[in-house]
Chains A and B, each alone.
Chain A
Amino acid sequence: MRIVTALLLAGAAAFGAENSFERLHEANQAFDRADYQTAVQGYQALLAQGFESGDLHFNLGNAYFRTASLGSSLFHFRRAWDLRPRDPDLRFNLDYAREKVADQMESRDSLWWRVLGLRGSVSEKEAYHALVLVTFLLLVVSGTALYRRSDWLLWARNGLIGIWAYGAIVVTYQTLLREPFGVVVVSEAKVYSGIGKDNVTLFTLHEGVEFVVADAVGGEWIRIRLSDGKQGWIRTGDAVYEKG
């Protein structure tokens, strides 16, 4: 019975995967025939199924761009960028979409990223895997150095310790310090000094402006911070943003 159940489950998984490929194919076909709204729905359905891939976000960003939804397009290009940071096509599309934003910001990457020089280098997944690999190598080299005195082993160990420390900082940032980002999706969004429209309007943002979510108290408002340091409260309906 157990074997039969396992076979049935495996069959169901294969069937599900087949359906997913069908759905991807259909969404791509919808994109080809300029039915971008259907393509958006197709890609979103796949994301909702848990296929969190850079290519899907890239395609979704393209489809949103074609439906003149610049904000959503930029949001998904950014998500794709986090997952596939060395993809030149993605870099191009992200830059191209950013050129269309009415409000231009001087700097978008955080100080951490600029200091570490890691933007466009590694994704979170790659950083974690590299850290584990370096840790394992460090264990092998250090363990060998305990029993075999050799200069090159000591050099290798010290070098690996340096790389490990670098990786540990990156992973720490990715895990603990990275703040979720968001993008304005309405043509004009007012930023207030506090929660509620009765507060002072600090400034106005236009579609496609990227920000860091400084505080999401739940409900209808989030506190945002721009790359030039400006802060304020914005209605959640005016933006898409990463949750948590």
Chain B
Amino acid sequence: MRARGLSILLFVTRAALGGDVSVTMTADRTQASLDDQIELQVSVQGTRQGGEPELLNAEAFEVQPGGSSSQIQIVNGKVSQNLNFAFVLTPKQPGKFRIGPARVNVGGKSFDSDRIEVTVVKSTANTAGSERLFYVSGEVDNNTPFVGEQVSYTFKFFNRAQLANAQLGLPEFKGFLKEGPDRQKEAEQVVNGVKWHVTELRFALFPMSAGALTIEPVRLAADAILRQRGDPLFDDLFGGGRTRRVTLRSEPVTLTVSPLPSASRPASFTGLVGRFTLSEELGKQALAVGDSSTLTMVLEGDGNLRDFALPLLTSGDFKIYDDQPTFLLTPGPRWKGTKTFKRALVPLKPGALPIPSVELGYFDTQSKSYKVLESRKQVITASGGAGEEGLNHVAATPGGGARKQIEVLGKDLMPIKRTPAALRSDDLRPRERWLLLLACLVCPGIYAGLLFLKRSRDRLSADSGLARRRSAYREFSSRLQGIDANGANGAFFEAAAGLLREYLGNKFNLDGKAITPIDARRKLASHPLSADSIGRIEAFLRECETGQYGGEISSEEGKANQRRVLVSIVSAVEKEARG
């Protein structure tokens, strides 16, 4: 067992260093169409240490990682280990390509796999019929529209196998105003003798500028459930099959958009392009002065009506109030918009009052010429005297004074919000709430720290004794380095005694130089020092005097010993003064 463990250890070490490493690359197919995906498996044998392989010469494909796994095997005492990486390649263009090598870096060395030659063919309905299980298409009903003319864009998804987790990626439709899609339609369709399940989405697009405009591809990603080629009965009963992530793209569609002719453009043209009808209906045709009648005008057509507004009407005979227009869009092969405008007309004087007509110029895409719609000329007969007004509008009440009060005639809800900001969260999530509260608590903590620092500095600057006490040990430590045990005998003992005196003076706010062996006990008795420590201080000072003036030459070892005694005395004083 120990031998096997050792062999595994040796193998792993050798593998980590890059010995006996090989890289192989395999593909599930070498022939594919633009709608297919190729699954590449890169296997790194002999190590479990390598990073993700770098796939070279794969620019013609969209490469997505498909996961990795590692394994170690021990068979008859022989250890083998490898790493497996999966990649999903989606072709971007047809042609012959040599993919690879896959390059792996192990322990600073690079290892390459062989290359694989792949042929990608264009996807067409014909090949789809024989081989493929899915494909998509995107097409328009008109490749050469005018600016503002409706173009119907249809995205179709053809499939013959089950899908799950489908995600649709719509392009931005740059250069177009977009309506839709409508509800998806599903149907069965036979293409070249093959029955397909077709899912269809339709959009209405309105080009906003002249020139070449491109509709980018629509992307559909989904997990395809593929039946194994086994027993169909078994598969049906037990759901045999495997899933494969597929990404399908429609072909980009390029339109050549023509500008609108400038010749013969009517004055009332405001940008409507398409085919339109205008109808109107008048509520009360006979009413009293001050009463109101509603004129409803309905504009229908296949142009972009969402942002269209009727020209303002002015008349000396009426007060005219515009209501909020309503807009309805009906999907179909050609999307049709219906915009309804309501105007309240309040006659200002009695008599037969003509309603001003409305002119709408538009560009007719069928006849490729400008046309003008005109509302019918109608007359309201107003009789004298004011009556009750029944419209949902705000109107000035006729009155005798120069200033008229505004009377609210009706109320309705304010309209819905349409800005994308509707998807911005206004709520405070619990984690955010606690983080903010934590931030509130941290600030007082920082302030307390600043206050403590400030007070400490103030105390130090106000109390010189405290400053001396605080710096006593630090100064002692720094000066202790300067005492040379190898130096002259007298100088050493003088410096050692002086250092102790200065330390004691700083520590207890005394005149340190004046402490002698004779009066040390008296001067230190009132401070928190034990009798033992005071005794040691006395003895040390006495020995230093002896060493300094006694004439006896102390050995280097003796001086080093004195120095240790000095340090131990100061340590004891520090401890006792603190306690």
Verify that A and B bind, or say they do not: yes
Binding site for B on A (CB under 8 A): 1, 4-5, 8, 15, 17-18, 20-22, 24, 28-29, 31-34, 46, 50-56, 58-59, 62-63, 65, 83-84, 89-90, 92-93, 96-97, 123-125, 128-129, 131-132, 135-136, 138-139, 142-143, 146-147, 171, 175
B6 an interface residue at 8 Å Cβ cutoff? no
Within 8 A of A (CB), among B409-435: 411-428, 432-433
Q: Tell whether, in the assembled complex, residue B443 and residue A139 are in contact, meaning their CB atoms are under 8 Å apart.
A: yes
Tell me the complex Cα distance, A74–B326, Å: 24
Closest CB-CB distance, A84 to chain B, in whole Å? 6
Interface residues on B, range: 35 or more
B327 an interface residue at 8 Å Cβ cutoff? yes
Task: Knowing A18-B170, A175-B433, say if A135 contacts B417 (CB, 8 Å).
Answer: no
B450 an interface residue at 8 Å Cβ cutoff? yes
Q: Which of B418, B422, B427, B443 gathers the greatest number of chain A CB atoms within 10 Å?
A: B422
B169 an interface residue at 8 Å Cβ cutoff? yes
Q: Tell whether, in the assembled complex, residue A146 and residue B450 are in contact, meaning their CB atoms are under 8 Å apart.
A: yes
Q: Tell whether, in the assembled complex, residue B411 and residue A96 are in contact, meaning their CB atoms are under 8 Å apart.
A: yes
Q: Tell whether, in the assembled complex, residue A21 and residue B68 are in contact, meaning their CB atoms are under 8 Å apart.
A: no
Closest CB-CB distance, A10 to chain B, in whole Å? 14
- Contacting residues, chain A, for B416 (C-beta < 8 A): 28, 31, 58-59, 62-63
Tell me the complex Cα distance, A21–B415, Å: 19
Task: Knowing A32-B326, A59-B417, say if A18 contacts B440 (CB, 8 Å).
Answer: no
B233 an interface residue at 8 Å Cβ cutoff? no
Closest CB-CB distance, A41 to chain B, in whole Å? 13
Interface of A is mostly: helix
Q: A5-B65, A143-B447 are in contact. List 19 more A-B contacts (CB 8 A).
A: A4-B52, A15-B169, A17-B423, A18-B169, A20-B423, A24-B423, A32-B329, A33-B329, A53-B421, A53-B425, A55-B417, A56-B422, A58-B417, A65-B413, A83-B426, A92-B413, A97-B413, A139-B443, A142-B447
Which one, B415, B426, B437, contacts A123 given CB within 8 A? B426
Tell me the complex Cα distance, A52–B430, Å: 13
Within 8 A of A (CB), among B434-464: 436-437, 439-440, 443-444, 446-447, 450-451, 454
Contact with A along B387-422 (1 / 0, CB 8 A): 000000000000000000000000111111111111
B328 an interface residue at 8 Å Cβ cutoff? yes
Q: Tell whether, in the assembled complex, residue B424 and residue A15 are in contact, meaning their CB atoms are under 8 Å apart.
A: no
Q: List 20 A-B contacts (CB under 8 A).
A: A4-B52, A5-B65, A18-B169, A32-B327, A51-B423, A52-B425, A52-B426, A53-B422, A53-B424, A62-B413, A84-B426, A89-B415, A92-B413, A125-B427, A125-B428, A128-B433, A138-B443, A139-B446, A139-B447, A143-B447
Q: Which 7 A-B pairs have CB atoms at the shortest separation, nearest pair first? A: A55-B422, A52-B427, A83-B426, A89-B414, A55-B417, A59-B416, A139-B443
Closest CB-CB distance, B518 to chain A, in whole Å? 49
Tell me the complex Cα distance, A142–B424, Å: 35
Closest CB-CB distance, A69 to chain B, in whole Å? 13
Task: Knowing A32-B327, A83-B427, A175-B433, say if A132 contacts B440 (CB, 8 Å).
Answer: yes
Task: Knowing A18-B170, A92-B414, A139-B443, say if A146 contacts B451 (CB, 8 Å).
Answer: yes
Q: Tell whether, in the assembled complex, residue B425 and residue A132 are in contact, meaning their CB atoms are under 8 Å apart.
A: no
- Contacting residues, chain A, for B446 (C-beta < 8 A): 139, 143
B64 an interface residue at 8 Å Cβ cutoff? yes
Q: Tell whether, in the assembled complex, residue B417 and residue A131 are in contact, meaning their CB atoms are under 8 Å apart.
A: no
B7 an interface residue at 8 Å Cβ cutoff? no
Q: Tell whether, in the assembled complex, residue B328 and residue A46 are in contact, meaning their CB atoms are under 8 Å apart.
A: no
Q: Tell whether, in the assembled complex, residue B417 and residue A22 are in contact, meaning their CB atoms are under 8 Å apart.
A: no
- Contacting residues, chain A, for B426 (C-beta < 8 A): 52-54, 83-84, 123, 125
- Contacting residues, chain A, for B424 (C-beta < 8 A): 51, 53
Closest CB-CB distance, A2 to chain B, in whole Å? 9
Q: Which of B420, B427, B436, B437 gathers the greatest number of chain A CB atoms within 10 Å?
A: B427
